[in-house]
Homo-oligomer: A and B are copies of this chain.
Amino acid sequence: MFEVISSAKIPELTIGIDLGGTKINIAIIDTSGNAATIVDRLRIPTNTSGNSSFIINDIASAVKQLEIRLGHSCSHLSVAVAGQVETDSGLVTFAPNLKWRDVPLKTLLENCLAKKVFVVNDVRAATFGEWMYGIGKRAQDAICLFIGTGIGGGIVSKGQLLQGSNNCAGEFGHIVVKFGGRLCGCGNRGCLEAFASGTAIGKAAREAAENSPTDGKALISAAGGYGASINGSHVSMCAKNGDLLATQILYEALEALIAGTTSIVNSLNPEIILFGGGVIAGNPDWIEKIADGVRKCALPSATKKLRIAPTTLGEDCVLLGAVGLRL
């Protein structure tokens, strides 16, 4: 595991791209000095036909437009993809949201744009971005956990992203917190993602409201009267208003998250763990609750130097990290 990405210097102005399932964020980034500044940016919708040439052409057009506005051509481009990536070859092996399998993204973009292209997984890029340009850099080593629709993360050790033997280190959503427990989308049972992701929280709430519409009254009402439409945000909202069922559902998700974080802390003994993603944004009080829980559950030696904090960069951490990984 733990392949280290090349640290060759790149020019100070570079292009960072966050290629997601619904939108593509493209930015010109100035990396001179210690900070990274977004000089200009464009956001375009993602073509999800599964035909990668549409996305390649859309990116090429946007990059040209930004370079014309800038009056300068950049020699390097870093792209973070919501999918499994072989970083060395720049092959995207699987990106379900893009309907891609084995797309040689690096080669396609290099041929189209005549630039040096670097490809990385988006969650790993986000982790590195938070470490390099956010609060993480003040720590020697950092772990990020993004709790959103799904759960993913990354590990930075001594300033290097740990990639693993197959570029997928950091899949913390599939830590098993209750073996034999809830079925997860990955096919296994008891994964952290099956308890604490936005998807899991929404599902638990829909099932609970269906089982007891009386207890689920507030949740059903928050979802416009449709129990089948209840999602994670509705649960957070109702819990904030004191609804008992929503509070109980969030409690179990939080217990699972504390268990998963405890596993990470005892296994890796990090200096800092940063939490981001939609579920954390919807439940900002979780940061303190996770910290309290982990301090109670993990080994004292493993928490002696541990800090737990929210991420700070928002969605820009993805393209900033993709660029930072090549610096």
- Where the two chains meet, the residues of A that have a C-beta atom closer than 8 Å to any C-beta of B are 1-2, 4, 84, 93-94, 140-141, 155, 157-158, 162-172, 174-181, 186, 188, 190, 255-256, 258-260, 262-264, 266-271, 297-299, 301-302, 304-306
Bound state CA distance, A271 and B165, in angstroms?
5
CA of A4 to CA of B174, assembled, Å = 28
Query: Would you give the shortest CB distance from A179 to chain B, in whole angstroms?
Result: 4
A93 engages B301 (CB within 8 Å): yes
Is A165's CB under 8 angstroms from B140's CB? yes
Contact B267 A165 (CB under 8 A): no
- The interface residues of chain A, by DSSP majority, are classed as loop
Please state if A164 and B269 are interface contacts (CB–CB under 8 Å). yes
Using known A-B contacts A93-B301, A267-B170, A271-B165, determine if residue A179 contacts B177 with beta carbons closer than 8 Å.
yes
Question: A166–B140 Cα gap in the complex (Å)?
Answer: 12
Instruction: Flag if B171 contacts A267 (CB, 8 Å).
Output: yes
Known: A141-B1, A188-B297, A305-B165. Is A179-B256 also a contact (CB below 8 A)? yes
Question: A158 and B4 in contact (CB under 8 A), knowing A165-B305, A168-B299?
Answer: yes
Whether the pair B1, A171 counts as a contact (CB closer than 8 A) is no
